[in-house]
Amino acid sequence: MLFSSTTFLFIFLPVILAVYFVCPKRFRNLVLLIGSLLFYAWGEPRYILVMLATILVNYILALVCASCKEKGKETGAKAAVIGTVVFSIGMLAFFKYSNFFLSNINGSIGKMVGFSIPLLKIALPLGISFYTFQTLSYTIDVYRGEVKPQRNLLHLATYVCLFPQLIAGPIVRYRTVAGELEQRQESFALFGSGVRRFVTGLGKKVLLANTAGSIFQMIGDMGDSQLSVALYWMASIAYTFQIYFDFSGYSDMAIGLGRMFGFQFLENFDYPYSSKSITEFWRRWHMSLSSWFRDYIYIPLGGNRKSSGRTFINLFIVWFLTGFWHGASWNFIIWGLYFFVLLMIEKAGLLKWLEKMPKALGHVYTMFFVNLSWVIFSYDTLEVLGRVLKRMFGFGGLPVWNTTSTYVLLSYLLIFLIMAFAAIPLPKKLIKRVGDVLPERGKETIALLAEACGLLIILLLATSCLASDAFNPFLYFRF
């Protein structure tokens, strides 16, 4: 079930909100758990058992780990943590990467010796990459003594299954919501803040991401006789906007839904397309994932506390895993290592030069390489990826510009400008300035009415688009 679907907006969400707030507080986690399981079962009923098994194993081994720590049995505590890592990563590897490894074995060793291993007929459980990282962070934090083990299985299951962040994040750590699982204070102010955030995210997803995605798909469906170098660049820019508004819109909706139920999730995006370096970009993009790899992979490996050679290896491992986490395909590995190379170049001295350059140049540099990264990200067949990159840089025998390029540019220029405007902090600053110049008398009322009207317009437009357009994918659902 998608957040941006009429079923969710007009049936599931109103029903679960009504049941949740009617129930006494002591039953609200149970309501959320049941509702979250129904939400998950809507798309993946077969794999509920996989998620529940992951929760149960981490619940038991976290208790074992804490008990061993209390008794001074460090070996037992380490064994419990290793057990959770082996089980959780094993489940993720089996469902997500089995066929990738089998395909590569068949394509290399299999060809040499003349055999082929049949691929497994398994689907990727929705959200497994996200809830695996959540359960791992919980048990590791218990081992580190940063959180106490959750002895109530219902509370832990609610944390993992919580439907706002279950399918595509953000990666919510247990320590962030531990107190709210036990006792949280819902309020009209928090609920209203959640509604505003949810509707904003819905607008990003339906009005902007879907539009950008349709442009990307339209150009991709063109025949070679219609294509040009310029059109390939327009397609890449469209995808760059699609993936940002798709994922940041989902994160906004998840954060907003969390607030409606009394949870305060951490931010996941901070206007990454306004960055002036790749280093800054990764401080602003998918922050819950970046911080997870930093805290549970990079720092335990030694971070930058050892030799420069060891730091290089640590960063290589982190970015290899970052790419591989996104998907069982070579293009994702290349995508991760592409950023590793860029970040190492900046670390070697380019970052100092960028800091001295005019901000506009730094921004152009960043967006050029970020845009190119999404080309690598978007094509999971290396042959297709190679052909696209060649054509983008004029080596595919296509004209640089043609009449179709003119038509597409004139048709969608305004949309591209709107998306570029929406991807930077300027609109937020302009709204604040308008608020500052309003007369003091009735200022708050005017601001509230203007905001309510704006949100209502976004909701009506988004609903209208959902009712009339079947194109409504969520890119991060495949991870």
The DSSP letter of residue 329 is: S
**Residue 3 pLDDT:** 87
DSSP secondary structure letters along 91-130 = HHHHHHHHHHHHHHHIIIIIHHHT--PPPP--PPPTTHHH
Reading the chain (479 residues) residue by residue, the pLDDT tens digits are 788 888 999 999 999 999 999 999 999 999 999 999 999 998 778 899 999 999 999 999 999 999 999 999 999 999 999 999 999 999 999 999 999 999 888 887 766 777 788 888 888 888 899 999 999 999 999 999 999 999 999 999 999 999 999 888 799 999 999 999 998 989 999 999 999 999 999 999 999 999 999 999 999 999 999 999 999 999 999 999 999 999 999 999 999 999 999 999 999 999 999 999 999 999 999 999 999 999 999 999 998 888 888 999 999 999 999 999 999 999 999 999 999 999 999 998 999 999 888 999 999 999 999 999 999 999 989 999 999 999 999 998 899 999 999 999 999 999 999 999 999 998 888 877 877 777 776 777 777 888 889 899 999 999 888 877 656 666 655 55
Separation CA 236–CA 230 (nearest Å): 10
- 363 as an active site residue: the answer is no
Of 60, 62, 56, 52, nearest in space to 128 by CA: 52
Residues 6 or more apart from 359 whose CB is under 8 A from it? Answer: 276
Q: How far apart are the first and last CA of the chain?
A: 16
**Residue 420 pLDDT:** 96
SS (H, E, C) 390-456: HHHCCCCCCCCCCHHHHHHHHHHHHHHHHHHHHCCCHHHHHHHHHHHHCCCCCHHHHHHHHHHHHHH
**Residue 438 pLDDT:** 72
359 close to 267: Cβ distance less than 8 angstroms: no
SS (H, E, C) 19-69: HHHHCCHHHHHHHHHHHHHHHHHHHCHHHHHHHHHHHHHHHHHHHHHHHHH
**247's tokens:** 């994922």
**Residue 63 pLDDT:** 97
Catalytic residue among 155, 286, 326, 363: 326
pTM: 0.93
Separation CA 169–CA 247 (nearest Å): 9
- Residue for token digits 């300035």? 433
Of 379, 359, 450, nearest in space to 232 by CA: 379
**Residue 471 pLDDT:** 62
Residues 6 or more apart from 335 whose CB is under 8 A from it? Answer: 323, 326, 373, 376, 377
**474's tokens:** 């969520």
Separation CA 90–CA 260 (nearest Å): 35
Class of residue 386 by CB neighbours under 10 A (exposed 0-12, middle 13-18, buried 19+): exposed
Could you count the other beta carbons within 10 Å of the beta carbon of residue 50? 17
Class of residue 303 by CB neighbours under 10 A (exposed 0-12, middle 13-18, buried 19+): middle
Separation CA 254–CA 241 (nearest Å): 20
